[in-house]
Amino acid sequence: MSGATPGREIERVWVLRGQPAIPADVPVEVWRIEQGYLAPARGSEAELAAAGFPEGRLRRIVEPSGAERFVHTVKSGSGVVRTETEREITRAEFERSWARTEGRRIEKTRRRARVGGLVWEIDAFDGLPLVMVEVELADEHEAFAMPEWIAALVAKEVSHDARYRNAALAMYGMPGREG
């Protein structure tokens, strides 16, 4: 198991009206992601928490090659800039703790498109009528140009709307129409 990698995540997020057609000349990778959010540890779960999984998200990523990766992530803060600690874990560690995410899971297909030095991650969520795009930036004030084939489908920015965080979607489902 590799060590944790602490850092800052600077991310902007938008809801799209549909899945964009990625131009043929844009490099793209398609990942399948299954992720669950850990419940507070109680009883025998406290032993697992003591073993290094007290909170956060467990994620299984299936890459285009078919290779699987397993990751434990803890995020804190709100808005565009948050703290993130992430570490690779083994399949056995993932499977031992996965049951603690019951009722707090999502699955999605992520298309990662590289444009202009940035990676635009387009997520289509299984079981939810929702497509979102996010981009990670080096600085919260970094200027960037959203590709037109994405911009044409933007319904709204949700970078500051916690209801659209993956954890909230996993626990509460799709936000109401009031936002």
What DSSP string describes the chain? -PPPEEEEEEEEEEEESS-----TTS-EEEEEEEEEEPPPP-TTHHHHHHTT-SSSEEEEEE-TTS-EEEEEEEEE--SSEEEEEEEEE-HHHHHHHHGGGTTSEEEEEEEEEEETTEEEEEEEETTSS-EEEEEE-SSTT------HHHHTTEEEE-TT-GGGSHHHHHHH-SPPTT-
d(CA 81, CA 69): 25
pLDDT at residue 163, rounded to an integer: 92
Reported as a pLDDT band with limits 50, 70 and 90, residue 49 is very low
Mean pLDDT, residues 140-162: 95
Closest listed residue to residue 149, CA positions, set 39, 2, 19, 14: 19
CATH of region 5-172: 2.40.320.10
pLDDT at residue 1, rounded to an integer: 33
> Cβ neighbours of residue 20 under 8 Å, at least 6 residues apart?
122, 133, 149, 150, 152, 153
Mean pLDDT, residues 130-153: 95
User: One of 13, 35, 36, 37 is an active-site residue; which one?
Assistant: 37
**Triad 21, 123, 163: Cα angle to 5°:** 130
Mean pLDDT, residues 70-75: 90
Flag whether pLDDT at 37 surpasses 60. Answer: yes
d(CA 102, CA 108): 17
Q: Verify whether residue 172 is a known catalytic residue.
A: no
Mean of all residue pLDDT scores within the chain = 87
User: Comparing 10 with 134, which gets the higher pLDDT?
Assistant: 134
pLDDT tens per residue, range 73-105: 988 777 788 878 889 999 999 999 999 899 999
Domain coordinates of the chain in residue numbers? Answer: 5-172
pLDDT at residue 41, rounded to an integer: 55
Mean pLDDT, residues 34-51: 63
Mean pLDDT, residues 45-55: 48
d(CA 168, CA 162): 7
pLDDT at residue 6, rounded to an integer: 56
